[in-house]
Chain A
Amino acid sequence: MENLNQNIDSANQIIKLWVEEYTDTLYSWAFYKVSDKQTAEDLVQETFLAACKYYKKFQGKSMAKTWLFSILNNKIIDYYRKKSRTPINTESHFGKEDGSIIEETFDGQGYWKEHKKPTQWDIDNEETHLLDNGEFKDLLQHCMTKLPPLWASAVQLKYLQEKDGKNIGQELGISTSNYWQIIHRAKLSLRECLEKLWFNK
């Protein structure tokens, strides 16, 4: 019994060193993925608690940082799975849960309404630069928070997991064709948000 307690002790001692070393990096990633301070902090905390619990399984088989990140990513995935089932955020301005973004964007025949046509963005020469621009990334994050939960989950799960539309659709309880519709709506919404707040500013 004493031996067991000693083991737990030393595991927790090691994890406390990890807390010191990796909390900031893990938090930064979590915040980037969930766009909410409190949620990001909770996820990082849960990550370390899970690390304590499963420390025996770790046994130095991979780098501590890699292992912690894989736990965190699973936590983020769980977060989005749960979030996809929460009711619509009424404050979302750009995307709406139903088809109203489609009605706003396209006419009765499904062609772009004149004032909704995507204008040309000047990204050809600037692309790499923009993808590393902190202000632009913050804005993209801001636009993501405007999406209804289900749409945001569909988009995020796509990048967090190596899965295709069929599998993600299953996870979210929607059909494959519905999944593509949601991705389309999410992109329409993100596109419009970026155009308004960045490209046509």
Chain B
Amino acid sequence: MRRLMISCQKAGILIEKKIAHKLNTTERMELFFHSSVCKACRNYEQQSVFIEKALSKDTNSVEHKPSADLKEKINKSIQENE
């Protein structure tokens, strides 16, 4: 059985390609058969999609503050560049 299947390592790469819509037909079949019997890879796919969403989210919910003197520093460098 194992010999007919792609490895989890290969499946992981195909999952990344799938997320980026880069799978060809053969790869799609290979991944489909692998995932249908491999719970760990199904978990991996769910998590990878989730991480993808988290990384691509354009809004940063946390406000990070620069040093208090950053504006002053920038204004100074603008003057020096005049």
Interface residues of chain A, those whose CB is within 8 Å of chain B, are 8, 12, 15-16, 19-20, 23-24, 27-29, 31-32, 37, 40-41, 44-45, 48-49, 52, 102, 105-106, 109-112, 117-121, 123, 127, 130-134, 136-138, 140, 155, 159, 164-165, 180-181, 183-184, 187-188, 190-191, 194
18 A–B contact pairs at CB < 8 A? A16-B75, A19-B71, A27-B65, A28-B63, A31-B66, A32-B62, A32-B64, A37-B67, A40-B64, A109-B7, A110-B9, A118-B43, A118-B47, A123-B50, A137-B61, A140-B55, A187-B16, A194-B47
9 smallest beta-carbon distances between A and B, as pairs: A110-B7, A110-B9, A32-B60, A118-B43, A117-B40, A27-B66, A134-B62, A31-B64, A118-B44
Residue of A nearest to B21 (CB): A164
Residue of A nearest to B5 (CB): A111
Q: For residue A169, give the distance in angstroms from its CB to the closest CB of chain B.
A: 12
CA gap between A37 and B70 in the complex, in Å: 11
Determine which residue in B13, B54, B64, B73 has the highest number of CB atoms from chain A within 10 A of its CB, and name it: B64
Given A45-B77, A137-B54; A106-B43 close (CB under 8 Å)? no
Q: For residue A152, give the distance in angstroms from its CB to the closest CB of chain B.
A: 11
Please tell me which one of the listed residues B41, B50, B74 contacts residue A23 in the complex, with CB atoms under 8 A apart.
Answer: B74
Given A111-B8, A137-B61; A44-B2 close (CB under 8 Å)? no
Residue of B nearest to A143 (CB): B51
Number of A-B contacts (CB under 8 A): 137
Interface residues of chain B, those whose CB is within 8 Å of chain A, are 2, 7-10, 12-13, 15-17, 20, 22, 40-41, 43-44, 46-48, 50-51, 53-57, 60-67, 70-71, 73-75, 77-79, 81-82
B47 x A191 contact (CB < 8 A): yes
CA gap between A165 and B20 in the complex, in Å: 8
Residues of A within 8 A of B51 (CB): 140, 187, 190-191, 194
Residues of B within 8 A of A15 (CB): 78
Q: For residue B13, give the distance in angstroms from its CB to the closest CB of chain A.
A: 5
Please tell me which one of the listed residues B7, B13, B22, B70 contacts residue A184 in the complex, with CB atoms under 8 A apart.
Answer: B13
